[in-house]
Structure 1
């Protein structure tokens, strides 16, 4: 058995250089070439063709071997393709919905969300929209993401309430076929790690969906509601146990998420309102 394992390991190690050359010499160069094409002749590519190419790139990014390499050229191409979509308001939701169907596993879905480049305004918008779709999908809710930011934040608050680990544990245990006759302790031992891992992924998606370039005063109320829901429904549902490290890991992410939202609240900017200049402003400025 040892010789077989060594041989398998050796074969994999021998194949690594060739696969690395394939990624660097072929796929990355192809991505650079396509980026050049869409930059020089953007009018030659329809929105439908751009969406199909984007879906291909996201599907390729899920390949297990490719995840070992930084696919920066892929992301540069994705960023350029997003910028070239003409009918953005219509095609962006369709693209995000199509991306969410590329996998059914929550780990892969989080990967797809974080593979969207967030270096541009369109990239950040698509990343937030895709996060909301994936959250609804993982919670088995109807996927219907509203267009306005206020409605999106309201949806996020509603979804956060459903992310209690105990609720997810009940849902996962009910979905399993061979659970008849198991005691409560056995159910917890069997399915609780899955529930907490799903909570962990969902919290990362919530962080992505709540990110914003600038937080104005009208968004503060939503961040405050998110903080309250996070404390009450997620943190309050976690009972730490030194033997169950996955609980501590989720609680740590809750603390980091809460701290991040508090920083966003404190750095929020007042809503910009135009105030016409006072005709006697110069005189009033000199008054004590």
Structure 2
């Protein structure tokens, strides 16, 4: 879901022969990339929020949070002319906070507690 990767994929998409369109400008490409990131992040948020987090998934969600912070929150530059970027960063921040709350509530038991269960 990296914006740069999505931009490369969208920018290199060959058009079908029946469509004779001009190549996308940088602004159009930026809008499409942010729209796709926003859609993917919304979908991921719905999926994660609708499931109970198992101990196996806890580590995966923690990794997903790190990736979200690294690729969305830190690599998208906000500007007054590009409010779509600001909206995407806001969604990323809200999603990150929700996922951190899930991680805190579903934290797996420490290793030393498992010995007590066996007794």
Tell me the TM-score normalized by structure 1.
Answer: 0.34
Give the corresponding residue for 1:165. Answer: 3
Q: 2:66, 2:74 → 1: CA distance?
A: 11
Runs of 4+ in 1 over 4 A off after TM superposition: 271-274
Number of residue pairs matched by the alignment: 109
What corresponds to 2:34 in structure 1? Answer: 196
Taking the aligned partners of 1:247 and 1:225, their CA distance within structure 2 comes to 23
- Match for residue 117 of structure 2? 275
Alignment RMSD, CA only?
2.4
Deviations 1:128-165 (A, max 9, x none): xxxxxxxxxxxxxxxxxxxxxxxxxxxxxxxxxxx122
Q: Following the alignment from structure 1 to structure 2, what is the Cα–Cα distance between the partners of residues 189 and 164?
A: 17
Q: Which has the higher contact order (CA 8 A, sep 6+)?
A: 2
| Structure 1 portions without partners, runs of 5+ | 1-162, 180-185, 278-288
Q: With the length of structure 2 as denominator, give the TM-score of the two structures.
A: 0.76
The alpha-carbon distance between structure 1 residues 250 and 176, as it changes in their structure 2 partners (threshold 3 A), is farther
Alpha-carbon shift at residue 219 of structure 1 (Å) = 2.6
Q: Which runs of 5+ in 2 are unaligned?
A: 16-21
